[in-house]
Amino acid sequence: MNDKWKELYDAAKQVLKPRDVSEIIGAGGVSAAVESVSGKIYVGVCVDTSCTLGICAERNAMFNMITNGEDAIKRVIAINREEKAIPPCGACREFMVQLMPEQYKQVEIMMDYENERIVTLGDLTPEWWI
């Protein structure tokens, strides 16, 4: 497997810290790492609220990337509490497609770290609505 995937997995694992932020907000039960096209890694965690104001770890990582002046991703991994890779939800897939409408089909997504199963965002989102 590409060494960058190990680096991404380790970066996501480092911020995976499930905890209560308040009585009604939890965070860190899912973490993510994205590699920008420049090769830099950005991380994020999910923030779960009692309403729809929360955010997924993948989008949080991408927002971190955007905050730091980059706007294109190459690879994405998200891991759950058991440190297993999980696929991005529909909202995260949609955000990635909107972020890179011309290049989204090449973005690599780690589906199963232990078995080295990688797919592209194009595989997960073959026909975008626009």
What is the C-alpha separation between 46 and 60, in angstroms, rounded?
Answer: 7
**Structural domain boundaries in the chain:** 3-124
CA distance 98 to 111: 21
State mean pLDDT over 27-42: 98
At which residue do the structure tokens 């497609």 appear? 97
Q: What is the pLDDT of residue 130?
A: 67
Q: In whole numbers, what is the pLDDT of the chain averaged over residues? A: 95
Strand partners, 35: 41, 75
In tens, the pLDDT along 46-104 reads 999 999 889 999 999 999 999 999 999 999 999 999 999 999 999 999 999 999 999 99
CATH classification of 3-124, choosing from 3.30.420.10, 3.30.160.20, 3.40.140.10, 3.40.50.2300?
Answer: 3.40.140.10
